[in-house]
Amino acid sequence: MVARLLVVLALLAGLSGPATAYQPDEVLDDPALEARARELSTELRCLVCQNQSIDDSDAPLARDLRVLIRERLQEGDTDGEVIDFVVARYGEFVLLRPRFAPHTWLLWLTPFAVLAIGGIVILRRRGARNGANRPDAPLAPAEEARLKDLIGDPDKGDGQT
């Protein structure tokens, strides 16, 4: 009984291999070109799924983009030329990692600005709180006279404490 269970589990384990979005007709014969195509596919966003690379997506548009990348690589385009071609067709949104350019500075620098502003706010609040608890400032003459009236003047020796 245990042997049969182990055989069934072994067969099921073989079926649970990694699922790929690639069709057999998409794979290039040249392993170097295929590796470049796979690398480029991980850098481009599926415009249907929007949170997946075209490498991971099963959408028909992602398949079309994977085929397009392979065709461009077979024609002799460099990786940069392929990316530029796809960006020219679909816009900067297709890039999973946007380029650092003047029109994307806000996108790249906002997280750092928010962290800096948050740090400044925390430091100022901590400084204000610590400054309020410190009795460093001497009393004004009017405050000193009022305090002596309230607690009594120890120099007069009137017996009040």
Torsion, Cα of 78, 82, 87, 93 (10° steps): -100
pTM score = 0.54
The C-alpha atoms of residue 61 and residue 146 are separated, in whole angstroms, by: 82
The architecture that CATH gives domain 20-99 is Orthogonal Bundle (1.10)
Q: Would you give per-residue pLDDT tens digits along the chain (161 residues)?
A: 877 876 766 666 655 544 444 555 566 667 888 888 889 899 899 988 878 888 888 889 999 999 999 999 889 889 899 999 999 998 888 888 887 878 778 888 899 999 999 999 998 888 777 665 566 678 888 988 898 888 886 666 555 55
Q: Where are the domains of the chain?
A: 20-99, 101-130
Cβ 144 vs Cβ 151: under 8 Å: no
